[in-house]
Amino acid sequence: MNESLSKIDATYIELRERILFGELAAGAPMYAEDIMRYTGVSLSMARQLLLSLGAGGYLKKSGRSYVVSTFTKEQVEEWRLALCAIVEIGALKLALTGAEKIDETAAFLNAHVRGIDVRNERFFIGAMALTTFVLGGPRSTLSQLVEQFIPQAFFRLLWIADSYADRTGFLVEAGDRFLSAARSGDLEGIRQSVRFFFDGTAPSLYTLIDNMAGGSFPANEKTDGFQTIELQISGVPTYAGSSRSSTPILRPISDAGKLAFAL
């Protein structure tokens, strides 16, 4: 446990890691008393942790309690497509704001993403920040949409998935493709740059989810990979003491049948 963090924040990071790497089984019930037993925190802290891990998508509400989230390929694919569509809109809007903003994007990419090892959490935090920048900042409508549609856990899954990737570097290459297209006014090229990233990272993400469903998890090979409680895209803190909760708008396609009208 990271001694530089508060007890509750360090425990949040520990539990998040244990969920993502399979030490806490998907579908297993999780009560405040369980967290107390696992970690030794107080009951009030344990309750706060349940709320925060639930808000981040690591736990799922089930009746009056929580269970460890099960990440299905169907649900993850919905999140992937939704995020791609929203980021594509943000990229187009950004390109149309003019050369100054495009230059700021290039500087941001160079300062926070380029040259950083993808295994290092600094890369993950930089990628989150770059996404927020492309969406127009944390207070933009697009960032608010992402917060509603995409749980925080999806971004961590996307980062972990590179354990199965044949190659990495999609984010930097997508950024360079965007900058080239934006400077030349190529709107279709901008769309393609966004899709390049999301389509390029999809195979390893599918492998991760398939393996998790089969009870197999990647080795935790991240460099300083679980030391941070990052902000959401909308800038809202996800620190463990936050009692904020959210419900994603998108639900698995399998849930839609009972709600759909016959054509």
pLDDT at site 240: 54
Q: Which CA distances in Å does 162 have to 124, 199, 207, 218?
A: 11, 13, 10, 10
What's residue 3's pLDDT? Answer: 56
The pLDDT score that the predictor gives to residue 238 is 74
Strands 59-62 and 29-30: unpaired
Q: What is the pTM of this model?
A: 0.89
Low-confidence ranges of the chain (pLDDT < 70): 1-4, 239-263
Q: In what order do the strands lie in the sheet with 59-62?
A: 29-30, 65-68, 59-62
